[in-house]
Structure 1
Amino acid sequence: MNELRYTETQILCGMREMWERDQTELFFLPRSVPFQPDDRIDEHMQSRILKWASEAIDYSDLVDLYKSLQYCFRFECTREEWSDCFRLDVYLDDYEEWERLYAADFTFRRAAQFVAERATAISFEPVNIIGQECGPAGAFCGIQELVREVKKRPREFGPSTRIRDVLKGNAFIFFWMKVRWITKQRAPKLSSSWLKLETNVVFIMLACLLCIGAIVFSLQKDPLYFFYSAFAVIPFWILVGGLMERLLDPLPPELQTFRDLAVWMAELDDEQILPEGERG
């Protein structure tokens, strides 16, 4: 039996999710422009670097990109395979020749095809229960495998378990990122305010430390007062950030439990989530 494969469109959606996840969340820096499938990867990567930084991507950036793709899509690939596919050895030896002969092929679409040929897809097809096909049960089996991909030794859970009771922090973010690209971004997007919660807490903590430093300096107090205050402020805001991350729920009311998600995925058109090899 042939292994199931994700579609090129699913992989491209996953790459967009990955790019958006990796981009900076600092409010004073511009957001990068979303890529198009036929955009060159090296040019898009260069466009994300601020002009005043005076930096340029190099061979190692292009070669090591496959590691991020491996982590996101769970496939086996060697550095040599990735390099050979896009002739990055020529890039290293003679950039002008690579630009002339091979650069046009170094696109997001071609990278998606490279991944699609190697990544084994998770099945969400209906399963047979007492002689009848059950779509939600099949989707739930796929979701269980998805959870195991993002979290080692997750606690046992059933269909009625709340998603946020099992997955928190980065495990939840990566889980939902996978749900989004597997469903071709039909799943609702997590709010940017929730995703930036950790960054915002860090900024608030730094602002508090600056205020304390200014007060200590203006009152000409012993500098030890600043360090004592810092030891109190930093753990406090770390605790606040952790509590807020756990208490605030980024999921919509209709997708709170694994059953909710399984039923929703089962109701999607097969073309939205079924990988190559499952479509009838």
Structure 2
Amino acid sequence: MQETRYTEKQIMPLLVEHLVDMYGLDDDEAPDPVADIDLRMDLYFKEIKLWKELHLSDFMFRIERAFLFECSRDEWEQLFGVDRDYQTEDEWIEHVGQYLTFRALVEFIAERAPYISFQPVMVIDRECGPAGAFYGMLELSEKFYPAACRLTPSTRILDVFRGRQLDGFWSELKWRTDNRLTELKSFWFLMEGCGCLVFWPVLLISVILFLDGNYLYPVLTTAATYALWKVFSICSYRSNPLPAGFETFRDLAVWIAEHDSEAVPQPAEG
């Protein structure tokens, strides 16, 4: 029996990207997607002084959300060896830690991440790469990113996805097609994120000042900050962050087909 799974070349870069976001890592702290694949996770997190701050519940939630899968806590506990009552750290390292590498985590993800094929399909007795890529995008949309209108090859991408929906769809498409897809222009996404980050601390401070008897300044500041955030959100939604040459889903399908996906069939256990 054969099953198709994503490769470490596809999974590891996205995993690194999310570790950077999760723990606020600098570039020199982030694991190398290629060189560090066999690095023990405990040694890595100890080196960047985050091992004691690694909480399994938060870690599993973020990884599952990033790769769009769900599994039981028991499976995660088995991977990290917390389902066994090891008395010392040395005992844990002997039985679990020395095997708990980034490769082991990538394998864990690969076994569970829902696979979507972008491989060529047969159309009128001929193999067609763009058709396979389009069917893959259609499946991705149907499963995870509902389209705003009927999705056809000639449909404009911006008629279907905008703002954060477009960003999410594009990010999924990027890692599932070997991370070769060009990044979206991120200026307004970045500004929207900054607006969000500024608003909540301002709101908290304003509430404290309001309770202390200062009314006008907190209300005006909060309103102005919220309005600015919403302006950034609208600009993010209305802007065109697509790289040059991408207008319709046909453009996207042809590009994916030309660059070929490298997900390969691997033997299913059992």
- Taking the aligned partners of 2:163 and 2:67, their CA distance within structure 1 comes to 20
Once residues 49 and 198 of structure 1 are traced to their aligned partners in structure 2, the CA distance between those partners, rounded to angstroms, is 31
Return the alpha-carbon distance in structure 2 between the equivalents of residues 21 and 165 of structure 1.
30
Equivalent residue number for residue 181 of structure 2? 187
Report the CA distance shift for 1:244/1:32 in structure 2 as closer, same or farther (over 3 A): farther
Aligned-partner SS, 1:71? helix
Which one of the candidate residues 104, 116, 128 is aligned to 1:134?
Answer: 128
Q: Which runs of 5+ in 2 are unaligned?
A: 204-212
- Conserved? CA contact 2:74–2:83, under 8 Å: no
Give the superposition deviation at 1:232.
4.0
2:159 corresponds to 1:168: no
Give the number of equivalent residue pairs: 254
Match for 1:265: what amino acid? I
Higher share in helix: 1
- SS for the counterpart of 1:128 is strand
Q: Which amino acid aligns with 1:116?
A: A
Structure 1 residue matching 2:240: 3-state secondary structure: coil
Pairing 1:39–2:55 present: no
Tell me how far 1:198 sits from its aligned partner.
Answer: 1.9
Residue identity (%) = 34
Q: Deviations over 1:200-254 (max 9, x none)?
A: 3346769999xxxxxxxxxxxx954324523641342133112220233322111
Tell me the CA shift for residue 264 of structure 1. 0.4
Quick one: distance in 1 between partners of 2:13 and 2:240?
A: 24
Verify the 8 A CA contact 1:10 1:183 in the aligned structure 2: yes
Q: Do the aligned residues in 2 keep the contact of 1:150 with 1:171 (CA within 8 Å)?
A: no
Whole-Å separation in 2 of the counterparts to 1:142 and 1:120: 12
User: Does 1:258 pair with 2:249?
Assistant: yes
Shift in CA distance, 148/20, structure 1 to aligned 2, threshold 3 Å:
farther
Alignment partners' CA distance in 1, 2:16 and 2:122: 35
Given that residues 40 and 100 in structure 2 are in contact (C-alpha distance below 8 angstroms), is that contact kept between their aligned partners in structure 1?
yes
The question of whether the paired residues in 1 share the 8 Å contact of 2:162 and 2:238 is answered with no
Given that residues 4 and 263 in structure 2 are in contact (C-alpha distance below 8 angstroms), is that contact kept between their aligned partners in structure 1?
Answer: no
Name the CA shift for 1:101/1:242 in 2 (closer, same or farther; >3 Å).
same
Residues 150 and 174 of structure 1 are in contact (CA less than 8 Å); yes or no, is this contact kept in structure 2? Answer: no
Distance across 2 between alignment mates of 1:172 and 1:240 = 18
Distance 1:6-1:126 versus aligned 2 partners, 3 A rule: same
Q: RMSD across aligned C-alpha pairs, in angstroms?
A: 3.4
After TM superposition, give the deviation of residue 139 of structure 1 in Å: 0.4
Distance 1:252 1:143 in 2: 17
Equivalent position of 2:13 in the other structure: 13
Q: Which residue of 1 aligns with 2:71?
A: 77
Report if aligned partners of 1:155, 1:166 keep a CA contact under 8 Å in 2: yes
Aligned pair partner of 1:156 in 141, 150, 154: 150
1:51-70 paired onto structure 2 within 5 Å: 56-58=52-54, 61-62=55-56, 64-70=58-64
- After superposition, give the CA deviation of every residue in 1:76-105 in whole Å (9 maximum; x if it has no partner): 522112222332234775323213442122
Alignment CA distance shift 1:154-1:66 (3 Å): farther
d(CA) in 2 for partners of 1:120, 1:247: 31
State the Cα distance separating 1:107 from its structure 2 match: 1.5
Q: TM-score, normalised by structure 2?
A: 0.77
1-side partners of 2:61 and 2:202: how far apart?
38
In the alignment, structure 1 segments of 5+ residues that lack a partner are: 210-221
Residue matched to 1:3: 3
* Contact 2:37–2:101, Cα closer than 8 Å, also in 1: yes
